[in-house]
């Protein structure tokens, strides 16, 4: 897991980690969450975008799966609104900046 503090304020940290394989259903769920209307005075739980295959005893391909998911996130039409904490794996600085710059504070 990697944590990027993009500002001195810890509430503005972007945290990256992983769990299991992605699927179209997962991506649709993620898009649904990202497009939802969330009251700005409420707490949004972390959106955990998983990349590790959970097949009996196999480690899977987390970096390969993360690359696919991260590419979708880079292409996603992010609106200037509050999404909460977006948790992904193997993110680069460009993805961190994209998520941070469009994830408006609740203030």
Strands 47-48, 86-87: pairing kind = parallel
For residues 5 and 14, give the distance between their C-alpha atoms in angstroms, rounded to a whole number: 6
pLDDT tens across 54-102, in order? Answer: 544 455 667 777 888 888 888 888 877 777 777 777 888 898 888 888 8
Number of H helices, E strands in the chain: 3, 4
Distance CA 38, CA 61 (A): 33
What's the confidence (pLDDT) of residue 64?
A: 78
Q: What is the pLDDT of residue 96?
A: 84
DSSP-derived 3-state class of residue 56: coil
Task: Give me the residue label for tokens 């993110």.
Answer: 91
Q: How far apart are CA 76 and CA 78, in angstroms?
A: 6
């Amino acid at each position: 897991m990697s944590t990027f503090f993009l500002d001195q304020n810890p509430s503005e940290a972007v945290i990256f980690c992983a769990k299991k394989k992605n699927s179209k259903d997962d991506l649709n769920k993620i898009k649904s969450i990202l497009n939802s209307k969330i009251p700005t005075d409420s707490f949004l739980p972390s959106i955990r975008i998983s990349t590790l295959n959970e097949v009996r005893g196999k480690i899977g391909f987390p970096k390969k799966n993360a690359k696919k998911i991260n590419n979708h996130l880079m292409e996603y039409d992010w609106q200037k609104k509050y999404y909460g904490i977006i948790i992904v794996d193997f993110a680069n600085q460009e993805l961190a900046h994209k998520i941070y710059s469009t994830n408006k504070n609740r203030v």
